[in-house]
Amino acid sequence: MASALSDIVVRQARPQDLPALVALFAADALGGHGDTIDPEAFPDYVRAFAAIEASPDQALYVAECGGEVVGTFQMMVTTSLTGRGSSAMIIEAVQARADMRGQGIGARMIEFAIAEAKGRGVRLVQLTSNAIRKDAHRFYERLGFKPSHLSFKMALK
């Protein structure tokens, strides 16, 4: 599917997008999140989608081209006492379908997220990226992001 940047629409995800979203994450060999298209796991995704949809501080988006989901990302707004009580937007789970990479989908999604952040008056947009995703790091730096912090994780399950 060839696309033009003008053909890419970013919109809020809908429940009927879930199979395509799960397939995007399951196809990610680098992520290591354990995502799967196994039907037995689908209720877990439905529960997560409902929690995101119900939160006033979170939103899940898709990039659509020709009626197909070709990318996704999630945004969360957090408010902290640091920064004089300001808010920050966190962008997570950025994925473009493998066969559609290099066509401007990621840039369109990140530009959309930044515009949303500006519209909400947040002071900072931040994201994390797996340390092995060197191409993604170059991509984010081209868009104006600067590496600044180390991220630490502890798996509980």
Domain locations in the chain as residue ranges? 11-142
Architecture in CATH for domain 11-142: 3-Layer(aba) Sandwich (3.40)
Helix/strand/coil for 133:
coil
pLDDT at residue 31 tops 80:
no
What average pLDDT does the segment 27-48 reach? 83
For the segment 53-73, the average pLDDT, to the nearest whole number, is 95
CA count, 13 A, side-chain hemisphere, 100: 25
pLDDT value at 103 more than 80? yes
pLDDT digits (tens, 9 = 90+) for 122-154: 999 999 888 888 888 898 999 999 988 888 889
Residues of the chain above pLDDT 90, percent: 64
Distances (CA, A) of 113 to 23, 79, 82, 127, 133: 22, 17, 22, 11, 20
**pLDDT score at 13:** 97
Whether the pLDDT of residue 34 is over 80: the answer is no
pLDDT tens digits, residue range 64-93?
998 999 999 999 999 999 889 999 999 999
